[in-house]
Amino acid sequence: MGTTIFTVMSALAAEEGALNLSQGFPDFDGPPALLELVQHYLTHGYNQYPPMAGVLALREAIAAKVLDLYGCTVNPETEVTVTSGATEALFCAIHALVRSGDEVILLDPAYDSYEPAVRLAGGVAKHIPLRPPDYRVDWDQVRAALTPRTRLAIINSPHNPTGTVWEAEDVRSLEALALRFGFYVLSDEVYEHIIFDGRPHQSLCRYPDLWRRSFVVSSFGKTYHVTGWKIGYCVAPARLTEEFRKIHQFVTFTSNTPVQHGLADFLAAHPEHHLQLGAFYQRKRDLFCSLLAGGRFSVKPSAGTYFQLLGYGDLTDEGDSELAIRLTKEAKIASIPTSIFYADRADHKMLRFCFCKDDDTLRRGAEILLGL
């Protein structure tokens, strides 16, 4: 395994003094009330180990949110686990299930932490490609890839890097296959609140039969603009959570105590934040896309996440990795090449840019891109 593309491009952006629209972190801070709550707990004696599964108040707040949004009743004691970021939760879920020789379905372009965890567990990744412009799942192709060794399917909606969002029919297709063939599902839902144009989020928590065979992972860093805090969580049925925690206890054991307490209070007191997050980022998506209108990049507005794909086929025939590096060095703007997320390195002449930035930053980025 090499170094993740996010580290590579962010380091190159810093070295070149480029505008970093590659790695997905905001250039603005989290809600002031949340920062104040964490500061309170930091200075009032909440600095020792919390329970291995996470601060109970936070697990209770997560359970309340899952019930409110998705109608799914989960037990905060036995079915919710707080983790050191969503990446840890993904790793623990994979290692809770996958054994040597087990096969895991990945939908490419796939986030780059999935396959390394599968391989470290001794599993074998089977890649199903999603193709532009719509990046929809070909369920006949998924079915053809299933074998008696299929143990797990990893899905991601809203999807990084494409910004696509699953429909209910996608979940029903997955559910039918999972129940028939007996595999489990790991659902990466870290952008669950960042969906646009009135679309609902099709969390697996909405589907009782499928949820009983699923791990559902989310992230506070994405929701509250505090990616550096690295606090995520996993919701899963008790029998799966039990296996999940066997791994979690030896990976990080537990996570930052004052941050957990602050998040618990804020989540309970300010649900309007996550309820309004989609509208907040839709304004930024619309601004970024409108600024690029008339330029040489093709733009299909993202349906979710805070990422926007830009097609550059009318600009150059360069490979996307080469172009991303050249633009960082010469134009001083950093992006992520999408071919890096395909096992076959399929190059569709697409670059991923993040728009979780101040409006002035987006205007500066668009000005650079329009000048190419």
- The residue written with tokens 């296996």 in the block is 243
| 331-366 pLDDT, tens digit each | 999 999 999 999 999 999 999 999 999 999 999 999
Do 294 and 163 fall within a single domain?
no
Same domain, 74 and 174: yes
- 11 belongs to a structural domain: yes
Look at residue 37 and tell me if it is in a domain. no
Strand partners, 307: 354
Q: Is 314 left (phi over 0), alpha (psi -120 to 50) or beta?
A: alpha
Cα separation, 114 vs 43, in Å, equals: 37
Q: Is residue 41 part of a domain?
A: no
Evaluated on CA atoms 23, 28, 29, 33, the torsion sign reads: negative
Which of 234, 249, 269 is the last residue in one of the domains? 269
Q: Is 230 left (phi over 0), alpha (psi -120 to 50) or beta?
A: left
Residue 36 forms part of a structural domain: no
- Same domain membership, residue 134 and residue 242: yes
Question: Which residues on neighbouring strands pair with residue 310, listed in sequence order?
Answer: 299, 351
Residues 121 and 153 in one domain: yes
Mean pLDDT score of the chain, rounded to an integer? 97
Does residue 55 sit in the same domain as residue 96? Answer: yes
Residues 265, 277 within the same domain: no
Partners of 334 in the β-ladder: 20
Q: Is the pLDDT of residue 5 over 90?
A: no
231 plus 342 within the same structural domain: no
Name which of 45, 57, 101 is nearest 268 in CA terms: 57
Instruction: Say whether 58 sits in a helix, a strand or coil.
Output: helix
Up-side HSE of residue 68: CA atoms within 13 Å toward CB? 12
Give Cβ neighbours of residue 193 (< 8 Å, ≥ 6 apart).
201, 222, 223, 274, 275, 277, 278
* Domain identity same for 173 and 314: no
Tens-digit pLDDT profile for residues 115-168: 999 999 999 999 999 999 999 999 999 999 999 999 999 999 999 999 999 999
Q: Which domain holds residue 73?
A: 49-269
Q: Summarize pLDDT for 304-331 with one digit per residue, the tens.
A: 999 999 999 999 999 999 999 999 999 9
Residue 152 near residue 110, CB atoms below 8 Å: no
Final residue belonging to a domain, choices 269, 290, 320: 269
Reported pTM: 0.97
For the chain, the helix, strand and coil percentages under 3-state DSSP, each to the nearest 5: 45, 15, 40
Asked whether residue 40 is domain-assigned, the answer is no
Residue 44 lies in a domain: no
The C-alpha atoms of residue 76 and residue 178 are separated, in whole angstroms, by: 26
Which contiguous run of DSSP H or E holds residue 19?
Answer: strand 19-20
Q: How far apart are CA 286 and CA 207, in angstroms?
A: 32
Residue 310 · residue 351 · CB < 8 Å: yes
- CATH number of the domain encompassing residue 348: 3.90.1150.10
Q: Does residue 346 lie in a domain region? A: yes
Distance CA 326, CA 316 (A): 12
303 and 186 in a common domain: no
Query: Quick check: 1 pLDDT over 70?
Result: no
**What is the separation of C-alpha 48 from the centre of its chain, rounded to a whole number of angstroms?**
29
Q: What is the CATH classification number for the domain harbouring 181?
A: 3.40.640.10
Whether the Cβ atoms of residue 26 and residue 357 lie closer than 8 Å to each other: yes
Task: Indicate whether 234 and 362 sit together in one domain.
Answer: no
pLDDT of residue 220: 98
**pLDDT tens for residues 259-303?**
999 999 999 999 999 999 999 999 999 999 999 998 999 999 999
Question: For 68-84, how does the pLDDT look when each residue is reduced to its tens digit (9 = 90+)?
Answer: 999 999 999 999 999 99
Joined tokens for residue 246: 């066997």
Same domain, 200 and 94: yes
> What's the total number of domains in the chain?
2
**pLDDT at residue 177 tops 70:** yes
Please say which residue of 269, 297, 327 terminates a domain: 269
| 360, burial (CB in 10 Å: exposed 0-12, middle 13-18, buried 19+) | exposed
CA atoms within 13 A on the CB side of 193: 21
Give 87-119 pLDDT, tens digit per residue: 999 999 999 999 999 999 999 999 999 999 999
Do residues 58 and 92 both lie within one domain?
Answer: yes
- Classify residue 365: in a domain, yes or no: yes
Sign of the torsion angle spanned by Cα atoms 204, 183, 96, 118: negative
